[in-house]
Amino acid sequence: MISREDVAHVARLARLALEPDELERMRAQLDGILAYIDQLRAVDVAGVEPTSHAVPLVNVMREDAVVAPFPQEAMLANAPDRVGELFRVPRIIED
């Protein structure tokens, strides 16, 4: 069973502020998901290559060719805040 602490940790990583009742609801739902994963674990996968993809496709690449970027104004248009040509975000204290 997943603990409330684990859920709080994951919520913190995802920048989610959960109220105690929300946290408990999430905990119960995550428990259900993990139980389902346990059910999958029961399947015998000996000799099956692990995969991250459902489609049998590899090596999808493009040539190194420049495509015209989007207009600067278009890319800045949805910014909640900006200074001239730059996005403006809450101050970063780290460095």
Give me the residues that bind other proteins (CB under 8 A), please. Answer: 9, 12-13, 15, 52-53, 55, 57-67, 69-70, 72, 75-76, 81, 83-95
The residue among 42 and 55 lying less far from other proteins, judged by its C-beta, is 55
Rounded least distance, CB 16 to other proteins, Å: 11
Short-list 26, 23, 31, CA closest to 1 = 31
Helix 4-13, helix 20-41: angle, nearest 10: 100
Residue 5 phi, psi (nearest 5): -65, -45
Rounded least distance, CB 46 to other proteins, Å: 20
Rounded least distance, CB 84 to other proteins, Å: 8
The residue among 21 and 56 lying less far from other proteins, judged by its C-beta, is 56
Rounded least distance, CB 44 to other proteins, Å: 23
Residue 50, C-beta contacts closer than 8 angstroms, at least 6 positions apart: none
* E strand or H helix at 82: strand 82-83
